[in-house]
Amino acid sequence: MSQVKVPVVRNILEANERLAKANRTIFDQAGIFAVNLMSSPGAGKTSLLEKTIDGLGDRYRIAVIEGDIQSSYDAERIQRKGVQAVQINTDGACHLDGGMVLEAIEALDLDGLDLLVIENVGNLVCPAEFNLGEHHKVMILSVAEGDDKPLKYPLMFQTSSVLLVNKIDLLPYVDCDLEKIRQRAGQLNPRQQIFEVSCRGGAGLDAWYAWLETEIARVRVNRG
């Protein structure tokens, strides 16, 4: 079985890489900073997006691509915030790929856009393997998931430039040691920036906004 499977997976990854590069060219030429946002189900991706629109939406034009197996529940949440949102339904697939994102881009008005966040399917495994053309991968870990996650899902930590440790307001009620997360994630990816946040209360989000503003400015200089 594995002799059948492995070469096919490799072809899919190569085809994906070509589509991701096409997406990246579109983002760079338009001067749009693109983020691939990943986490387990329910770690807080859509809540982070809602807060980010609240925090930066008056100074930057933001759009969101929502990835879900089915439903348009998250895209509707985002549209209620008054920003462009496109829903991708993967129809069973556990991750987004470059081709799905290319189709979604074509449904967006890119003119004057500063920031595009692509919210991946809730899954700590496969999304880490598929580049979408983003400038940075960003991951969220909820403290309710525990401090052992870097040991068990290392690729996600290795490939993400930023780790948002979310729901820190739950720390008094769960068995989770922030220092262990920092140490274990740091061993996998010493350059990863870690922000401790609570999307519910808003704690720690200023550092995340500042990181986004720096990166938006960096990409925007390309705009013609």
C-beta of 146: minimal distance to a second copy in Å? 5
**What is the distance between the alpha carbons of residues 101 and 202, in angstroms, rounded to a whole number?**
29
The site string for a second copy over 29-68 (x = CB under 8 A, - otherwise) reads -----------xxxx------------------------x
Beta-carbon contacts of 210 under 8 Å, excluding residues fewer than 6 positions away, are: none
Which residue from 92, 109, 190, 224 is in contact with a second copy, where contact means CB under 8 A?
92
Query: Does the CA dihedral 71-72-78-80 come out positive or negative?
Result: negative
**What is the distance between the alpha carbons of residues 171 and 150, in angstroms, rounded to a whole number?**
18
The reply on whether position 70 binds a second copy by CB under 8 A is yes
User: In the window 146-165, what residues touch a second copy (CB under 8 A)?
Assistant: 146, 148-149, 151-155
C-beta of 202: minimal distance to a second copy in Å? 14
**What is the distance between the alpha carbons of residues 112 and 182, in angstroms, rounded to a whole number?**
37
The reply on whether position 3 binds a second copy by CB under 8 A is no
From 78-86, 115-123, 189-197, 212-220, give the range in contact with a second copy by CB under 8 A: 115-123
- In terms of phi and psi (left: phi > 0; alpha: psi -120 to 50; beta: otherwise), the region of 208 is alpha
Closer to a second copy by CB, 9 or 210: give it: 9
